[in-house]
Chain A
C-alpha cells in the first residue's frame, strides 16, 4: 500500500506541474490569460442564445432561452475542447516522456481538468449574470446538478482515453475527431429535453450518458420546470467500459511509441 501511496503522490506532483506548464504555454504570462478559458464559452453561449431568442418562440415551460442554451452549450464546449485537445497529445508532449514518472494518462487528465475548470467557471459566472438579470433561477437541486456534471465529465474523460491513443495510431481517427463532435450533438441533449421526444427515441437516448448527465443538470438548475429522464446505472456502466477500453489502448500505444 505504501508503494501505491508513493506512486499517487508522484502522480499528483506531475499533474500539478503539467497543469501549470500547460496554462503557461497556452495562455502566456501576459494578456488576461486564464480568464479566456472562461470568456470563450460564455461569448459563444451568449451569442447562440441571442440568435435563438430571435428565431424561436418562447417555450411554454417558462425556462428562459438564454438560460436553456447556456446550460446546454457550456457542457458541449467542454466536450468539444476535451475531444479536440486529446488528439495527438502523446507525440506532441513526447519530450516530457523522457521523465519516467510522466505518464501518457497524465496528459489526458491535465487537459480534461483544465477544460473542466474553465467550463465550471463559465457555467457559474454565466449563471450569476443571468440570475442578476432575472433570467436564471437559483439551482433547485444542487445535488442533481453536481451529479449530472459528474456523469457528463466522467463519460467525456473515458472517451478521451480512447480518442487520444487512437489518434496516434491512425490518421483517420485524428480526422474523425471533429466530425465525431458534431455527430454527438443530437445525442448529448444540448438543444432539447428528453421530455420533448417520443418515448421510443427517448428510450434509445438513455444509452447516452451525455443525455443522462444533461437531464440531471437541467433538473438541478430549473427544478420542476423540467421532467428529467435519466438512467444512472447505464451511464456509469457505459462510462466504465469506455474507460477500461481506453486504459488498455493507452498502455498498448505507449509500449510501442517512438519517443523523440
Chain B
C-alpha cells in the first residue's frame, strides 16, 4: 500500500524517481535500478574521506524513491566529478550522473545554489565565459595582461543579446 521512512516520515517520490531514471537514460543510457550495493563506488570515492559522500547510498535512496531527502541535503554538492564511480561500476550505474541530475532538480525546485555557482552562472550569462580576463602576477610580482604576453584578443559570443536570449530559454525548459 505504501512505504514510509520512519526516521524522517518521508515517503518515496515515485514520479520524480521515474523522471530521473528517464533523464539518465536519455543522457547516459544508464539507470540505477541494477545497482546491487557492492559499494565499489564509495570505496573509491574521491569525496568520501573528506566530505562523507556515499555514492552507493545515493543510488539506494534513488532506488527507494527518497528524492526529497537528497535534494534537501548538502551532500549532493560534495561530488568533485572525478567519474571513478561511473568508470568502475560493475553494473554500469553512474552515481556521478545521478548526482548531476539531483543537483539540477534541486536548482529547478528553487533550492539555494551553494557557493560560487551563482556567480559563475551569471558570468556565463553576461559574457559567455566563467570569468572575465584577469591580469596576473608573475613570480617576481609583475602584473601581466594577455596583450603584454602577446596573446590575441579573447574569443567571446559575438552578439551578447542573442546569446542571452538563447540561455534564458533553456533555463525555463526541463531536460
Please say whether chains A and B are actual partners in one complex.
no
Interface residues of B (CB under 8 A from A): none
Interface residues of A (CB under 8 A from B): none
